[in-house]
């Protein structure tokens, strides 16, 4: 993680610093790129809106800026065995409406997310949980469906605790308009798709991380990137994130603005179809896959389209994740080698194909297409709306696709492998041996054995060039001078940890 210093023209450097409205009244306006249709975390599977919800509803644990699991509504946890974890809950906590928090709320929440009739979104996120058992007023036992070594880390990102009495008396849609949580901020006003106004919870407990600093936090939906930047530089917005490298250069020349970059758990890879899931296609030819591997300039894609901190990958997982073995056979960018492999393939004159991507990844797809044309592959970008892309990809209809994957912020490759291997919906490889290794590694606790199994799987994938790992995503931030903000290790900003300096 590296901080980018604000670069100002000499005339700008001499200008006095302005005190913007947010600093004056101890508030912050967050320029948000995604519409929030509901504040019920179980009514949406979109990760970005849930970042806003984390200020209102809480998990048992939270992830620190350094990426470690820390106490939140649970103060202690102990592994009883490979599928059982005991939690001691925090006493003296109340929900925003005064309802007391205790073990019943955790047990109720787990029952909700496990009940198919409740129609919880992204129910797969809770597949590792079997049930919750009340041991006492402030202690629960969590039963897992199978050994899940990443369970503690997952619980920093999933399982928003609901107020059992209040939620039971409300319609889920009603709760989404006026949610009640234990978090550091309360919802004062919610305009679906437009804005959320949060105010400080003065009854918030003595959290390990401290106390909320802002009196008011406003989340303002601004879908257009250039409009967000204009609102930031004009002073109407105090914080934006997810900036492109071009955006960063633009913001860095603006007075009163600071920029910084941080990591994320998101990776991008090029999905191929070596097993013919979509029918006969050129990527079933290993020489074609080798040619594509050598033709794609992953380093340049990362540096230019993501930022200087982006890493070119050798395995399709994030190096921060446990089990992400990058020490596999490596393929350098080498057009001469790529052309030799194309000449040795069943398609020496090249072929036509499309690289499917949804809007956020269109630029990466364009770069890949440009690289492939250098070796005679006449590729074009098949840009789609996200929902349509996801449906067709999981239905096995896209032979070549740019795939981003955030792993739901989890620092373990078991958050990735069930989706794209192990015969999951996104498994275009269908290698029984790789699937067996990954499935075994994801269901045991022994770290040494897990690493051995993951190494076997990723090594075979690299040897066979089953897909093409691309780059890690860099998360770029722009914010008003005077804001105390530390980029999170996972790329998911927790704004309740921020505040104005002084």
Contact by Cβ (8 Å): 65, 72: no
**464 contact partners, CB below 8 Å, separation of at least 6:** 274, 286, 289, 431
**217 contact partners, CB below 8 Å, separation of at least 6:** 27, 28, 30, 55, 185, 197, 198, 199, 495, 496
User: Is residue 135 in some structural domain?
Assistant: no
Q: What is the tens place of the pLDDT at every residue in 82-131?
A: 999 999 999 999 999 999 999 999 999 999 999 988 888 777 788 899 99
Picking from 71, 84, 49, the residue whose alpha carbon sits closest to that of residue 221 is 49
Q: Report the percentage of the chain scoring pLDDT > 70.
A: 95
Query: Please, what is the angle between helix 432-441 and helix 447-464, to 10°?
Result: 160
Domain of 412 in residue numbering reads as 267-472
Reported confidence tier of residue 1, pLDDT bands at 50, 70, 90: very low
Q: Is the pLDDT of residue 9 over 50?
A: no
* Tokens matching residue 83: 């599928």
Contact by Cβ (8 Å): 360, 384: no
CA distance 421 to 269: 14
Reported confidence tier of residue 489, pLDDT bands at 50, 70, 90: confident
**Number of domains within the chain:** 1
**Predicted local distance difference test score (pLDDT) of residue 357:** 97
Q: What does the CA dihedral 446, 449, 453, 456 come to, rounded to 10 degrees?
A: 150
Contact by Cβ (8 Å): 292, 381: no
Q: Is the pLDDT of residue 44 over 80?
A: no
**Predicted local distance difference test score (pLDDT) of residue 20:** 56
CATH number (domain holding residue 271): 3.10.105.10
User: Is residue 369 in some structural domain?
Assistant: yes
User: Is residue 172 in some structural domain?
Assistant: no
Strand 195-200 relative to strand 185-191, pairing: antiparallel
DSSP character at residue 4: P
User: Is residue 386 in some structural domain?
Assistant: yes
User: Is residue 27 in some structural domain?
Assistant: no
CA distance 262 to 448: 29
Question: Coil, helix or strand for 23?
Answer: helix
Q: Is the pLDDT of residue 3 over 50?
A: no
CA distance 237 to 79: 44
Find residue 220's DSSP bridge partners.
31, 195
User: Is residue 105 in some structural domain?
Assistant: no
User: Is residue 58 in some structural domain?
Assistant: no
Q: What is the tens place of the pLDDT at every residue in 385-442?
A: 988 999 999 999 999 999 999 887 889 999 899 999 999 999 999 999 999 999 999 9
**Predicted local distance difference test score (pLDDT) of residue 466:** 98
User: Is residue 319 in some structural domain?
Assistant: yes
Host H or E run for residue 187:
strand 185-191
CA distance 172 to 167: 7
CA distance 40 to 394: 26
**Predicted local distance difference test score (pLDDT) of residue 130:** 97
Contact by Cβ (8 Å): 411, 321: yes
Ramachandran angles phi, psi of 302, nearest 5°:
-65, -50
Reported confidence tier of residue 223, pLDDT bands at 50, 70, 90: very high
Q: What is the mean pLDDT of the chain?
A: 92
Q: Which whole number is the average pLDDT over 463-479? A: 96
């Amino acid at each position: 993680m590296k901080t980018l210093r604000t670069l100002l023209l000499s005339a700008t450097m001499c200008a006095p610093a302005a005190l913007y409205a947010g600093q004056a009244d101890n508030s912050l306006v967050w320029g948000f790129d995604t519409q929030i249709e509901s504040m019920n975390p179980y009514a949406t599977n979109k990760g970005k809106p849930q970042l806003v919800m984390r200020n209102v509803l809480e998990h048992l644990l939270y992830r620190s800026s350094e990426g470690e699991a820390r106490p939140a509504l649970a103060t202690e946890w102990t592994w009883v065995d490979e599928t059982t974890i005991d939690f001691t809950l925090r006493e003296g906590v109340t929900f925003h409406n005064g309802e007391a928090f205790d073990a019943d709320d955790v047990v109720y929440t787990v029952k909700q997310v496990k009940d198919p009739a409740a129609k919880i979104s992204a129910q797969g996120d809770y597949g590792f949980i079997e049930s919750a058992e009340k041991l006492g007023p402030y202690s629960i036992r969590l039963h897992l469906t199978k050994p899940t070594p990443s369970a503690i880390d997952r619980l920093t990102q999933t399982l928003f605790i609901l107020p059992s009495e209040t939620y039971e008396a409300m319609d889920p849609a009603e709760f989404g308009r006026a949610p009640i949580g234990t978090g550091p901020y309360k919802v004062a006003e919610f305009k679906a798709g437009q804005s959320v106004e949060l105010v400080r919870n003065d009854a918030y407990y003595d959290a390990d991380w401290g106390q909320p600093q802002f009196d008011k936090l406003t989340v303002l939906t601004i879908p257009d990137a250039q409009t967000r930047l204009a609102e930031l530089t004009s002073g109407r917005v105090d914080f934006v994130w997810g900036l492109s490298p071009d955006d960063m250069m633009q913001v860095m020349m603006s007075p009163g603005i600071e920029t910084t970059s941080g990591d994320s758990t998101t990776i991008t890879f090029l999905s191929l179809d070596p097993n013919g899931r979509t029918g006969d296609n050129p990527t079933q030819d290993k020489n074609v896959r080798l040619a594509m591997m050598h033709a794609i300039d992953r380093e340049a894609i990362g540096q230019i389209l993501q930022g200087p901190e982006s890493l070119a990958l050798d395995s399709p997982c994030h190096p921060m994740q446990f089990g992400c073995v990058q020490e596999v056979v490596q393929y350098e960018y080498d057009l001469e080698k790529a052309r030799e492999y194309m000449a040795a393939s069943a398609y020496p004159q090249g072929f036509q194909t499309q690289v499917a991507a949804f809007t956020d990844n269109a630029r990466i797809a364009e770069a890949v297409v440009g690289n492939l044309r250098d070796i005679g592959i006449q590729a074009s970008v098949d840009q789609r709306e996200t929902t349509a892309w996801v449906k067709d990809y999981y239905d096995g209809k896209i032979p070549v696709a740019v795939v981003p994957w955030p792993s739901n912020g989890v620092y373990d490759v078991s958050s990735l492998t069930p989706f794209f291997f192990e015969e999951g919906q996104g498994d275009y490889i269908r290698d029984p041996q790789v699937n067996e290794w990954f499935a075994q590694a994801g269901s045991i606790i022994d770290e040494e054995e897990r690493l051995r199994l993951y190494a076997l799987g990723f090594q075979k994938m690299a040897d066979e060039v089953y897909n093409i790992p691309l780059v890690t995503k860099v998360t770029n931030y722009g914010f008003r001078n005077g804001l105390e903000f530390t980029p999170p290790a996972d790329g998911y900003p927790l704004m309740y940890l921020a505040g104005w300096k002084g």
